[in-house]
Amino acid sequence: MTLIREQLAQQNQGPRVQEVPPPAQPVPPAVPPVQPIPPVAPQVPNIPPVAQPEVRQEIPRNAEVPVAPAEVQMQPQPVREDLLYERFRRMKAPEFEGPIDPIAADNWLIDMQVILDFMCLTEQEKVLCASFALKKDARHWWITVQMRRNVLNMSWQDFVDEFRAMYYNKEVLAAQQDELTSFTQGSMTVMEAVKKFEQLTRLCPNLITSETEKVRLMMKMFRTDIARQVSTGNSPPVAVSDCIERALRAEYWINRDKEARAQFYQSKKEEKALAKANQSRQSTEAKPQAQASNPNAQGPRQPGKNKRKGNFNNQGQQRNFPQKRNNQGNERNKNNLIAIRLHDFDVILGMDFLGRHNAKIDCRKRNVT
């Protein structure tokens, strides 16, 4: 059994192949290393230098000789005063010429204070800029201040005190107080009157001790028609803003009422003028018709004749006045006549009758001959 198994195993494996070793490769002979050749410097023949001829550039006689540029001088940097002046000039600050008017002086001082605070200046710079804006009489006043004190170290509050001492003297302030107590609106609008009132109260702070006192003076300032509407209502005004708002509203409706009345009267006036023109035209058109219908009517009085041609008859009858028709032609309009009571006269005679009988009237003696 063992032999059989071995034979079967040999048949399955096939015949064995003998392994052949690879052929031996020939080894090349060793090459000896190559030695580097040192570089050889080229041999240059020693040739002496050749002298070059000197070339001279001929310059014509009339040619301009170039001049070396001059050194550029640097402009000095502007100092702080120049920069301050440019900044202040761009602000377009108002000028003050120095009239003795406390309201104008106070307005200028307030405007200048706002500009200087916006520029964020020091105390001395504020004084410098404010003094630059003084002109004419105010400039002369500032010169006198410079003569009696050192203004270089002056603070802004010192400048304000000097300015107020000049333009807010006691006499002027006393006059402003009198004007405030007697100030009325008159023909000014509400806003104009309020502006003037605020200026006066700013100059007289000692008279305005509270908000109620200011409202009382403002109500006294308004016109009667405005003050009546402002004070009406369940609650009278207790604040200045409320008082001004009510006054503006009252002024608006009062002006509307005045405009409506003016338009009404203007329309009535135009209607009367038109009616008068129509009446005159109708009377002119009716005059020829009346003369044609009345044979006793004569022409106008002729110059040179001492008698009047008209429609008076010899019997002292009433004068006939023509009647004119209206636009509809149905009704007749009577002329405006003056009724004279006959018992006031003794005799009524016509001019035609007196002229025909060569009568003479003596008014002094009241006699007719």
What confidence tens digit (pLDDT) does each residue in 164-221 have?
888 877 777 788 888 888 889 988 999 999 998 988 888 887 788 888 889 989 999 9
Amino acid present at 333 = N
Determine the average pLDDT of the residues in 57-63: 56
Give the end of a domain, one of 257, 282, 300: 257
- 314 domain residue, yes or no: no
DSSP label of 364: T
The pLDDT tens digits of the residues spanning 207-230 come to 888 888 899 899 999 999 999 888
Share of the chain above pLDDT 70, in %: 61
- 50 domain residue, yes or no: no
Q: Quickly tell me which residue has 């000197």 as its tokens.
A: 54
Of 104-118, 182-196, 339-353, which range is least confident?
Answer: 339-353
Instruction: Indicate if 87 and 150 belong to the same structural domain.
Output: yes
Instruction: Indicate if 116 and 144 belong to the same structural domain.
Output: yes
User: Domain count of the chain?
Assistant: 2
Grouping H, G, I as helix, E, B as strand and the rest as coil, residue 235 is: coil
Instruction: Indicate if 161 and 203 belong to the same structural domain.
Output: no
pLDDT given at position 62: 57
Instruction: Indicate if 120 and 162 belong to the same structural domain.
Output: yes
- 335 domain residue, yes or no: no
Instruction: Indicate if 88 and 163 belong to the same structural domain.
Output: yes
> Containing domain of residue 205, as a range?
188-257
Give the end of a domain, one of 136, 168, 200: 168
- 164 domain residue, yes or no: yes
Evaluate whether 367 touches 359 at the Cβ level (below 8 Å).
no
Determine the average pLDDT of the residues in 99-106: 81
- 85 domain residue, yes or no: yes
- 234 domain residue, yes or no: yes
- 31 domain residue, yes or no: no
107: part of which helix (H) or strand (E)?
helix 102-119
Q: Quickly tell me which residue has 């409320």 as its tokens.
A: 242
Confidence of residue 133 (pLDDT cuts 50, 70, 90): very high
CA distance 111 to 93: 8
Q: For all residues of the chain together, what is the average pLDDT?
A: 74
Instruction: Indicate if 137 and 206 belong to the same structural domain.
Output: no
Q: How far is CA 166 from CA 128, 205, 210, 267, 336, in A?
A: 18, 18, 28, 58, 75
Instruction: Indicate if 86 and 164 belong to the same structural domain.
Output: yes
Give the end of a domain, one of 229, 257, 285: 257
DSSP label of 234: S
Instruction: Indicate if 90 and 122 belong to the same structural domain.
Output: yes
